[in-house]
């Protein structure tokens, strides 16, 4: 039987990833094989979580993003797509 929690080959986008539940979720996704885009406002904390994820052998990209700002979210989405899927999206 396949592992229903296997996220190998998937990309998780986690907001609030610099601490608390967001950080825990990001680490959990990585534990199950996903690469992770980490979004939050605190760059230093995002960098710490990204290091933890890459130490698990997964890819991670820290992206400073304010989810209350539409332009910030659009920019973050474009960065995720370009980083993980090698496509450019411009807003």
Is the CB of residue 15 less than 8 Å from the CB of residue 39?
yes
- How many angstroms separate the Cα of 20 from the Cα of each of 27, 71, 90? 11, 25, 31
For residue 89, pLDDT beyond 90: no
- Which pLDDT tens digit goes with each residue over 23-50? 999 999 999 999 999 999 999 999 999 9
Is the CB of residue 26 less than 8 Å from the CB of residue 55?
no
Instruction: Sort residue 20 into left (φ over 0), alpha (ψ -120 to 50) or beta.
Output: left
| CATH tag, 11-85 | 3.40.50.720
- Which pLDDT tens digit goes with each residue over 50-69? 999 999 999 999 999 999 99
Residues 6+ apart with CB under 8 A from 74: 91
């Amino acid at each position: 039987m396949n592992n229903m929690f296997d996220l190998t080959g998937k990309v998780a986008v986690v907001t609030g990833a610099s601490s608390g539940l967001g950080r825990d979720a990001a680490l959990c996704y990585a534990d199950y094989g996903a690469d992770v885009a980490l979004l939050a406002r605190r760059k230093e904390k995002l960098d710490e979580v990204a290091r933890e994820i890459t130490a698990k052998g997964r890819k991670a990209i820290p992206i400073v993003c304010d989810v209350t700002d539409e332009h910030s979210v659009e920019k973050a989405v474009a960065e995720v797509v370009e980083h993980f899927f090698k496509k450019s999206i411009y807003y």
